[in-house]
Amino acid sequence: MKKRALVIIAFAAFLAATVAGKEREVSLPETVAGFTAAVESWDGAALSRSAEELERLSRRLPESFPAHYWLGAARFHQALYLIDAPDTGKQVDRALDGSEKALRQALELDESCGECFALLSAITGLRIGRNPLSGIWRGRRFQRQAGRALELSPENPRVHYLLGTNYYHAPERMGGKSRARKHFLKAAAFYEEERRKEAGELEPRWGYDTTLLFLGDLHREEGEREKAREFYLRALSANPANQKARMALEGLKNVPARESETR
């Protein structure tokens, strides 16, 4: 609760500074707090504001690894938000292009960032999903990026979360949902370890509730309603603003139970 209160306070400061415009420049920690709050509430307008501010900060701080990393993360989430909306194809492409550019700039400053490679692999996966034929030439790139991410950061929860999302949407011959489950379970365990540590103001913490949401979806798809319910409730405990988890929990009423659950 204390951490959430601090994020809300910082987000309020971010908004106040944004409204003030030229009165003062918004700091990187304030902008990161604004982005974090936007992800938790899944607010498209706030995501866009955060991404634009991070764009300005990365230009002002060209040698700042965190500025480029956070810009890459913000543009990536902006693409995820837009991809579900109608007639946003060009906006999605611009957000993905911006994310990829920022992450490559971050890697020029710190080539050991496994999380950056994981984000790049997720971008490649999204591009393949939007144009399946591009898997012919993008498939190997995805494998290289995913492999590098695991090599550099095998215990980073966001690496496993992002790889899990890639495999969740991939056919079974490429790993599919069985491989996604393994990555999501590892991500959840590493997130839980991470949450026991104090977070620095520029350290990423996004993705935990969405990991739990995906695990709930996997159990729901197999008719395991009680296990799905457990993960949806955990996702809501991690982030009460997660409306997808709330709707999924409500939707379980319409999911037929497996025979083993009805005995």
Q: Read off the pTM.
A: 0.88
Report pLDDT for 23.
47
Report pLDDT for 259.
47
Over residues 43-85, the pLDDT tens digits come to 999 999 999 999 999 999 999 999 999 999 999 999 999 998 8
Q: Give per-residue burial for 80-109: e unless 16+ CB within 10 Å, then b.
A: bbbbeeeeeeebbeebbebbbebbebbbeb
Over residues 187-204, the pLDDT tens digits come to 999 999 999 999 999 999
Report pLDDT for 253.
82
Euclidean distance between CA atoms 197 and 47, whole angstroms: 26
pLDDT band for position 15 (50/70/90)?
A: low
Tell me the average pLDDT across 117-130: 95
pLDDT band for position 100 (50/70/90)?
A: very high
Contacts of 236 (CB under 8 A, 6+ apart): 209, 242, 245, 246, 249
Report pLDDT for 69.
98
Of the two residues 259 and 51, the one the predictor is more confident about is: 51
Phi, psi of 212 (to 5 degrees): -65, -35
Report pLDDT for 85.
86
Over residues 223-232, the pLDDT tens digits come to 999 999 999 9
Position 20 pLDDT exceeds 50: no
Euclidean distance between CA atoms 74 and 79, whole angstroms: 9
Query: Residue 8's closest CA among 47, 41, 44?
Result: 41
Report pLDDT for 202.
96
pLDDT band for position 87 (50/70/90)?
A: confident
What is the set of domains in the chain, with CATH numbers?
A: 207-263 (1.25.40)
Report pLDDT for 250.
94
Long-range contacts of 164-169 (CB under 8 A, 24+ apart): 164/211, 164/214, 165/122, 165/125, 165/214, 166/121, 166/122, 166/125, 166/142, 168/214, 168/218, 169/125, 169/129
Query: Residue 159's closest CA among 126, 134, 191, 196?
Result: 191
Position 17 pLDDT exceeds 80: no
Position 260 pLDDT exceeds 80: no
Of the two residues 247 and 4, the one the predictor is more confident about is: 247
Report pLDDT for 219.
96
Euclidean distance between CA atoms 53 and 18, whole angstroms: 9
* Whole-number average pLDDT of the chain: 90
Tokens of 102: 């920022």
